[in-house]
Structure 1
């Protein structure tokens, strides 16, 4: 009897811990999983509380893929919360004294990670007698009206530094838009204005971008893209099995299957290569190049899946199947976190400058 891939790891050979199997079962019982932001976020907090400390990257990425297979928006909600918890763990392992008591962090805290920059917007951090404070505007702050806390990058002179903030603090003003997106319509990513907001530094200036775990976090997003594409492969498989299915239906399925299979191998290989990197000497010499390669491979596979599904299935599921239509719209927007040719060009820069050789 085949295993139920909805509750077994998709990228790791190790079985999910019982707590995570239970959490996935809880997700299946939530009415509005992914669309009810508050209920999904509360579930994400519970997942973060039971996720084991001794876990592998393959296990983490398998979890994200399994959630994205259920609902793209749910993975978009879970991923930054788990990423923030991982970043805080890494900072403490690296010797940073991260005391979050002053911003009322607790077991029910929900987290975002706001690290994007935007033209005409700048968030600055300044030290005063009472600690650190943030002033300015941060763009692309996902779910800022819902999460209780965030890790935010801010400028300290010419360097960026990571800070933890409570988003209910006086002086924090999340904007409601602009957000006209048809995909991920409930996962609003809009600017947040900060006025003299107390903040706790997490790591030294530049640590957030230099840390080895930065690359792993980027691949975690790619695992979400990959898991989100699997139901589209399932739809192509159903179409290829129908009575009267022609060779073209099998061609579309074969193209998608091979692309997603290759992307799965890339994710698995990266997990094996990067596991243990925080332990110092182990891991790839240039994790950023590895992460960029994996993201490019996965993004290409998912782009192909979207295109082949559109050709093979036609317009009917996009207008008559709410779950399919929402998945396509959500995934198309989520995938824009990959910057296409610009990200691939950076790989070329790395290779031409002697980084990331095979």
Structure 2
């Protein structure tokens, strides 16, 4: 059975989905290597089947892309069945520090928002260095100095993907890309757009639920009213336009024209993509949720799960704060109009 067809039956089965993600990592394209649109379509297709599965696939593939961009294998990256996460968040009162010793780099401190840390083999993590700033490192999560908390995850969305704090004590790490490289590389923006592809795929799944529900009602003699049809039409417009925008961005990323012009950066485009997709997702969630009503949310488990998972996942976009960052870039001349 093709890999994508195996996602939906495995919804909720994290170990099996991790195996699928590892399998995908051996054959799916990397961003910026000529087939970015294919990669984003595959990620969106996973999310359309199961949003939580995309939260497993995307960071694993992103970690492999980061290692490739840095020219690193980090040893375990190529090990069969090896699974990866990317832990780059910061949190108040928490700090992960990387210290250079006579035997290499050691990590000490805590890192928040580490999804599935107890079930992954390795991670790309960011840590504060002795010279100031942050750098990226590859680390084994199986080391005895790694302590992954069991988070008090009360969210109804992404229940199988808890994100907790990981504590590191004298954990050896392999530097990736050098100081400042992680956030300054073009791939940082590419990865952010890959996440947006997952959000959009989740919205496609929600819209399909809506369309299938209307079709089932029509087959049973309950024809949809004008308001339902209008909502379906608007959802179609939004999804189609956003898919075309993502495809065009992927093409420009691969052919080198995205950041080729003066006053234009990959990061500003990533902010446009993420903001546009987030707004599209929020609108589709609203359209479908208000038109389908409470019944499916109460009794249709796959639909209720998809709605809750996507509503939480898309909150990785910071809304107006991200728009403010984009506005600052536009004011500085980083725009196309």
Q: Shorter-chain TM-score: which interval?
A: over 0.9
> Which consecutive unaligned segments of at least 5 residues does structure 2 have?
none
How big is the alpha-carbon RMSD for the aligned residues of Structure 1 and Structure 2? 2.2
Alpha-carbon distance, 1:276 to partner: 4.3
| Aligned ranges 1:118-197 → 2 under 5 Å | 118-156=91-129, 157-197=131-171
Alpha-carbon distance, 1:150 to partner: 0.1
Alpha-carbon distance, 1:232 to partner: 1.9
| Aligned ranges 1:8-87 → 2 under 5 Å | 22-27=2-7, 31=9, 33-52=10-29, 56-87=35-66
Distance 1:289 1:346, change over 3 A: same
SS of 2:46's partner is helix
SS of 1:151's partner is strand
State the alpha-carbon separation in 2 of the partners of residues 279 and 293 from structure 1.
13
SS of 1:275's partner is helix
> Which consecutive unaligned segments of at least 5 residues does structure 1 have?
1-20, 93-97
State the alpha-carbon separation in 2 of the partners of residues 80 and 273 from structure 1.
23
State the alpha-carbon separation in 2 of the partners of residues 69 and 282 from structure 1.
34
2:259–2:265 CA contact under 8 A, matched in 1? no
Off by >3 Å, runs of 4+ in structure 1: 25-28, 52-55, 238-241, 276-285
Distance 1:277 1:128, change over 3 A: farther
Which among 317, 332, 335 is matched to residue 353 of structure 1? Answer: 332
Distance 1:286 1:104, change over 3 A: closer
Alpha-carbon distance, 1:170 to partner: 1.6
- In structure 2, the residue matched to 1:12 is none
SS of 2:166's partner is strand
1:69–1:227 CA contact under 8 A, matched in 2? yes
- In structure 1, the residue matched to 2:238 is 259
Corresponding residue pairs, total: 329
1:236–1:249 CA contact under 8 A, matched in 2? no
The two structures have a TM-score, normalised by structure 2, of: 0.92
The two structures have a TM-score, normalised by structure 1, of: 0.87
Which among 162, 172, 191 is matched to residue 198 of structure 1? Answer: 172
2:258–2:264 CA contact under 8 A, matched in 1? no
Alpha-carbon distance, 1:355 to partner: 1.6
Distance 1:240 1:321, change over 3 A: closer
Distance 1:184 1:353, change over 3 A: same
Alpha-carbon distance, 1:158 to partner: 2.2
Which among 204, 208, 226 is matched to residue 234 of structure 1? Answer: 208
2:34–2:254 CA contact under 8 A, matched in 1? no
1:125–1:155 CA contact under 8 A, matched in 2? yes
State the alpha-carbon separation in 2 of the partners of residues 355 and 268 from structure 1.
21
SS of 2:7's partner is helix
- In structure 2, the residue matched to 1:330 is 309
SS of 2:2's partner is helix
2:249–2:258 CA contact under 8 A, matched in 1? no
Distance 1:175 1:168, change over 3 A: same
Whether 1:286 aligns to 2:265 is: yes
State the alpha-carbon separation in 1 of the partners of residues 135 and 212 from structure 2.
49
Alpha-carbon distance, 1:107 to partner: 2.3
- In structure 2, the residue matched to 1:95 is none
Whether 1:111 aligns to 2:84 is: yes
Which among 74, 77, 92 is matched to residue 100 of structure 1? Answer: 74
State the alpha-carbon separation in 2 of the partners of residues 280 and 354 from structure 1.
13
